[in-house]
Amino acid sequence: MGQPLSMDLRTRLLAAIDAGMSCRGAAARFGVAPSTAISGGPGL
């Protein structure tokens, strides 16, 4: 299991998704697993 995401990274990831970026695209941009961005998984 990986490290929890920092609050700053969580905020930027969710802001990118809210701005219209796909979950997979946001995950790739911020270097997290797609499942984390898609499901709001552990650390989000």
The answer to whether position 34 is within a domain reads yes
* Confidence (pLDDT) at 9: 93
Between CA 17 and CA 13 the distance in angstroms is 6
The answer to whether position 2 is within a domain reads no
Number of structural domains (the chain) is 1
Q: For residue 24, what are the domain limits? A: 7-39
pLDDT in tens, 1-44: 677 889 999 999 999 999 999 999 999 999 999 988 887 655 56
The answer to whether position 23 is within a domain reads yes
- Which amino acid, 8? D
Structural tokens at position 7: 């609050």
The answer to whether position 16 is within a domain reads yes
The answer to whether position 35 is within a domain reads yes
The answer to whether position 18 is within a domain reads yes
